[in-house]
Amino acid sequence: MADEPQVRNAQDAGTTPEGRTKHPVDETLPPLKMFTSGLQHVAAMYAGVVAPPLIVGAAVGLSGTELTFLTGASLFTAGLATFLQTLGVWKIGAKLPFVNGVTFAGVAPMLAIVDTTEDKSDALPIIFGAIIVAGLLGFLAAPWFSRLVRFFPPVVTGTVITLIGISLLPVAFGWAQGPNPAADDYGSGKFLGLAAVTLAIVLLLRRFTRGFLKQIAVLVGLVLGTLIAIPFGATDFSPVTEADIVGFPNPFHFGAPQFALAAIISMCVVMLVSMTESTADMLALGEIVERPADEKTIAAGLRADTLGSALSPLFNGFMCSAFAQNVGLVAMTRIRSRFVVACGGGLLVLMGLSPVMASLISVVPRPVLGGAGVVLFGSVAASGIQTLVKAGLEKDNNVLIVAVSIAVGIIPITKPDFYHAFPETAQIILDSGISTGCVAAVLLNVVFNHFGRRTDDDEVTAPMEPGDEISETRGAKAAHAH
């Protein structure tokens, strides 16, 4: 009994009874800080979660009420998948501050399924059936897929993390231009000004505040940006007034799942792309929170991704994957607790059960989200650059790996129609700069650093100098060695 106070004090201080300090990933925060930090994660990923169901639902021809239902279902299933990832069950879940939600990689193939389905009422059941099969197959393949982690040294992970940030920045730029690309005022000074003001607020808070206020700078920026947008008519409160208070995503609301071979193959390809991106995101997050993701962690994380995807259609949701923008939020705020993200998952579940709650965040104008997104997504790219600093860029091989992989990865960004002549299934992979850049980095690393004669001692003293000068440097080193 005499030892009980010591145990309690140790736990209160964030340490184990033996005196070992908990890793920041496993720490719990005060309730208010937990809630606001979790809300900030929801705010950062909300637009990404609701966009795919809105796009696919509109293609199917759903009514406004059904679109709201489909959006709420996506929020609900994203929350469940986030629970699996952060809290974990058995060998399922990376137990990192990882937010899961609807992957954008599935939008194009789902639209293709809709276009090739004669009776549009069958489109969603066919999509859901394909996702269930792809999710179950991915779950079984997760342990083997995770063994590829040895092919992801810092030169690869740093390149991929940088590409994740670069690939997300166009999303923020699109948000900054306004909500409707077809509108006359899209990209107007009003919208760009709101994005700039929001960005300035976040930067000023990060520069001149301390403690908790500094950590929730993005959330404060979103709130203030929304208030500033009201006089300009850029804030729409109609989603709040029209939403129901309670609405449960009834299982198989759009019909029992149907299983079509072509759709299944298409979604299995998407699942491979999603698993590749999730692996890269887990490696990135592991570096950021200083708990490197090993093979076991990646396997558990992929199981959570794939199981969450397989269960999602039960509640009318789509394929789930890790959200890279929230990796940027962790990098910027340095709040590494996975329980904060789990709290965000709880908020997503509540939003899925209450359309009114879900509509509150939808009030935030797209330009305001865009201004905050510049900071979030830019932080991801900066984290990748930090990892590359540790990758040994004085080595000629690594310089080539980074140079070519980044070039390949930004093709879909700088030239979106580059792969237009390829089959649609191939475009699913090729149009993802993260996936193509990741594959290029892994293959180049294998070729240059694993096969044949190792040349790790080849250093580039000035990477931008002409090749003959580099050769002279190498020759001088070789002569000195002899």
Tally of residues, the chain = 482
* Mean pLDDT (the chain, rounded): 80
Cα 456–Cα 462–Cα 468 angle in degrees, nearest 5: 85
430-446 per-position pLDDT tens digit: 777 777 888 888 899 99
CA distance 354 to 350: 6
Q: What is the reported pLDDT for 193?
A: 95
Q: How many CB atoms sit inside 10 A of residue 424's CB? A: 10
CA distance 191 to 176: 6
- For range 452-465, the mean pLDDT: 49
Give the contacts of 30 (CB within 8 A, at least 6 positions apart): none
289-335 per-position pLDDT tens digit: 888 888 888 999 999 999 999 999 999 999 988 877 678 778 877 88
28-52 per-position pLDDT tens digit: 888 888 888 888 888 777 767 877 8
Domain ranges of the chain: 27-153+164-384, 392-482
Residue 399, pLDDT > 80, answer yes
CA distance 99 to 329: 11
Residues 81 and 347: beta-carbon distance below 8 Å? no
Question: Which pTM does this prediction carry?
Answer: 0.66
CA distance 290 to 376: 19
70 vs 23, 86, 129, 364, 479, CA distance in Å? 38, 24, 16, 20, 69
When pLDDT is cut at 50, 70 and 90, the band that residue 482 belongs to is very low
When pLDDT is cut at 50, 70 and 90, the band that residue 425 belongs to is low
Question: Among 204, 217, 290, which Cα is nearest to 24's?
Answer: 290
- For range 69-92, the mean pLDDT: 89
Q: What is the reported pLDDT for 4?
A: 41
Higher pLDDT, 131 or 158: 131
Taking only Cα atoms into account, the Rg of the chain, rounded to an integer number of angstroms, comes to 23
- For range 278-294, the mean pLDDT: 84
Tokens (6 digits) for 320: 């789930």
